[in-house]
Structures are given as structure tokens and as C-alpha cells.
Amino acid sequence: MRPPETSTNMKHARRAFTLIELLVVIAVISLLVSIILPSLSRAKGLAKTVVCAANAKGIGTAMYIYAEEFNERYPLASNVGNWGEYVAGVTPSIYSWMEQLFPYVEVKKLYVCPEKPNGSEYSYFLGTRAAWIDSMKYPDGPFFNPVIRSRIKYTSAYVLLGCTGRDFKGTYDDCDKDDYTQDCTGFPVHDKKVQTILFPDNHVKSYPGYVEGEMTFQYNKMVPWEEE
Ligand SMILES: [Zn+2]
């Protein structure tokens, strides 16, 4: 006849989990974590890239409307400046390109890439090199000028805007970033490999920097950012 189950017997039954089994379970869990964590962080990174591209497209739409209203001119970038202040060293006084554009953007968050790449609250530069190069032929040039949309020949290649890892943090939390005299490409942000670039036809793509044949900084020719 089977002896009645005592509390000692039950204790034995619960101790079925041996040390080796426990170690195996721990090993399996750590393996799973090591598999899942990187893909989680990859997914997070991808989500940030998608938000950045959406931001750039939103700003691009605002710039399209702005150019419609201002006789083909995009906002004028001129120097560094804090939000709410005139940009430094320019006469007549103007606000940053981000503020000129703001009535059409309406959401300030659009100016911030989720990676917050350059120590600044604002992440995007305005592609202004064509206007700067063009102004060199003026007797008193070169000077700050707006890019004129109708003069852009390669609307799917002109670098109009981008998120940049170039460090702008200084005296100013610059909301007037431009590439008149600073090449803002080649400072990758996302995964430290690529940055978001927006073109006048409002398409957006990730690039590690300048890519020959796909990008230009001039009105009439396909060229890299040139020295003066
Ligand atoms: Zn970005």
C-alpha cells in the first residue's frame, strides 16, 4: 500500500529544478535577450529615421508654399541666431529661416530630428550654396541671398535641406543653420552612417554624405559643394 504523502515528500517533488537546469534557463534567457535587444535598438533607430524623413518632408511642403507666396524665393538664411532674435550681423535685420517659415510649418517639433544630432535644439540646415556662389558675381558680393526655386535645374538633385551632425552649438542655439560657407553634408546622424536630405521635388533620402550623380549644390550643374 502507498504511504500517505507527507510534507517531506512534497518538498522533494518541488526540488525537481536542479542547478544545471537553472543555469540552462539563465543561458537561454541571456541568449534571447542578446538576440532581441539589438533588434529592438535597430527598430528604435529606424523609427527615428522615419520621423526625421517625415519632418523633412513637412518642412519641404512648407517651403513649397512659401516659394509660391514669395515669388519663387525660399526663406533667406543669413547668420547664426537664437529663436526670437534677429540673426547676427545682418542689415536689414531678419529672423532665422526657421522663423520665417514657421507660419507654414506651425509645429516647432518638425525642426528637431529625434536623434538631436548636433548639440542644438534644431537639427536641419538650409541648402543655400547656390545663392552664395551666385552672389559672388555681384560687385559687393558674396552675400546672403535666398535660393530662387525657379532657377534650380535639377529639382530631384539640388540639396535643399537636411539633418546634419555638424556641431552648431556655440554662443547661439542656432536656428538659422545654412550651408553658405559650411558644408553641412558629410556629418551623418542616423546610426552614425546617414543623414536625411530633402530635394526641391519634395523627395527625401538618407545619404552618408555627398553622392556624385545624385546631388548638386548649384543652380545649373551637377556638382559637389565647391570651395569659393
Ligand atoms: Zn535626422
Give the pLDDT confidence of 79-118 residue by residue, as tens digits: 899 999 999 888 889 999 999 999 999 999 999 999 988 8
In the reported structure, the alpha carbon of residue 33 is separated from the centroid of ligand 1 by a whole-number distance in angstroms of: 28
212 located within any domain: no
Provide, rounded to the nearest whole percent, the portion of the chain with pLDDT above 90.
64
Ligand 1 being an ion, which residues bring their Cβ within 5 A of it? 52, 113, 163, 189, 196
Residue 164 in any domain: the answer is yes
| CB-based contact 218:133 (threshold 8 Å) | yes
Spacing, Cα 34 to ligand 1 middle (Å): 27
What domain range is 93 assigned to? Answer: 19-207
In a domain, 53, yes or no: yes
Assigned domain for 171 exists:
yes
Q: Residue 184 to residues 88, 93, 143, 159: CA-CA distances in angstroms?
A: 20, 24, 18, 10
Task: Evaluate whether residue 225 is within a structural domain.
Answer: no
Q: Would you say residue 217 lies in a domain?
A: no
Answer whether residue 221 is part of any domain.
no
Q: How far apart are CA 177 and CA 28, in angstroms?
A: 49
For residue 99, the CA-to-ligand 1 centroid distance in Å is: 20
Confidence class of residue 15 from pLDDT cuts 50, 70 and 90?
low
Say if 108 falls within a structural domain: yes
Are 125 and 98 a contacting pair, CB within 8 Å?
no
How much is the average pLDDT of 14-37? Answer: 83
Provide the percentage of residues in the chain whose pLDDT is more than 70. 92
Phi, psi (rounded to 5 degrees) for 135: -75, -5
Instruction: Write the CA distances from 15 to 2, 121, 147, 153, 164, integer angstroms.
Output: 21, 57, 77, 78, 59
pLDDT in tens, 198-225: 999 999 999 999 999 999 999 999 999 9
State the average pLDDT over residues 23-52: 88
DSSP reduced 3-state for 61: helix
Domain tally, the chain = 1
